[in-house]
Amino acid sequence: MAYKIAVCEDCETDRAYLGTLIREWAAKTGRAVQVSFFPSAESFLFQYADEKDFAMLILDIEMGDMDGVTMARRIRKENDTVQILFVTGYTDYIAEGYEVAALHYLVKPVNPVKFEDVLERAVRNLQKNEQVLFLEAGGEMVRVPVRQIRYIEVRGNYVTVHAKESYTVKKTLRDMEQKLDERFFRLGRSVIVNLYAISRIAKTDVILTDQTRLPLPRGLYEKLNRAVIEME
């Protein structure tokens, strides 16, 4: 599979440099890539209207009429899997990067080693995004992308998987835990939470991005904080 990468940068010299780094990384790692270049956010969005299968977006922030952050917000509204990397000469936009779940923020001139590390992280994330759980619920087999799971809770002999929809199946929490990866954290006996779904951690509960509150068992506050930090 070829990874489709868009480089959106208004400086021709920087576009060429980023393209060279991508091709060198691809040759070194044996990755197949398809790279497209855009001089503005508007030119990318025009093509994106017909081609929404880009895996990675490498965006400058300061660009003409529409900046990279505004463009990323627009893309993120309909695409939660594309990997967004900001490349800029400014250091004032880190908070905006978090807002659109940017993978990383690199300051120009871009360090080739750091750039390759970020591209490898992007590939790992994309591979994780392909993982699915198959659940037998309501008399039918349901395919649930693992990345969509916010948390799983157990009640008696059943677990409920909360993703875009909620599914209740006759399983143990341990059964479910064995099907998940390092993105998930066990909150005591009754809940497993997706670390990427966490908005903030209080002493007694965990608040998710959809404002769901999950009880935080005593003694897990520090361990959960470390787990979240390590996922960054």
Query: Does residue 97 register a pLDDT over 80?
Result: no
Mean pLDDT across the chain, nearest whole number? 89
Q: What is the pLDDT of residue 98?
A: 56
- 155: phi then psi, degrees, rounded to nearest 5: -140, 110
* Per-residue confidence band for 192, with pLDDT thresholds at 50, 70 and 90: very high
State the average pLDDT over residues 115-135: 88
State the average pLDDT over residues 73-92: 83
Q: What is the pLDDT of residue 95?
A: 53
Higher confidence at residue 181 or residue 149?
149
Q: What is the pLDDT of residue 91?
A: 65
Name the least confident of 9-13, 59-63, 156-160.
59-63
The DSSP string of 131-178 is -EEEEEETTEEEEEEGGG--EEEEETTEEEEESSSEEEES--HHHHHT
Q: What is the pLDDT of residue 50?
A: 87
C-alpha distances (whole Å) from 166 to each of 66, 134, 137, 175 are 38, 13, 10, 17
Distance CA 97, CA 44 (A): 19
Q: What is the pLDDT of residue 123?
A: 92
Which residues are bridge partners to 143 per DSSP?
134
Query: Does residue 96 register a pLDDT over 60?
Result: no
Walk me through the domains of the chain, giving residue ranges and CATH numbers: 2-129 (3.40.50.2300), 132-231 (2.40.50.1020)
Name the least confident of 2-6, 178-182, 218-222.
178-182
Name the least confident of 14-23, 31-40, 174-183.
174-183
- 83: phi then psi, degrees, rounded to nearest 5: -90, 120
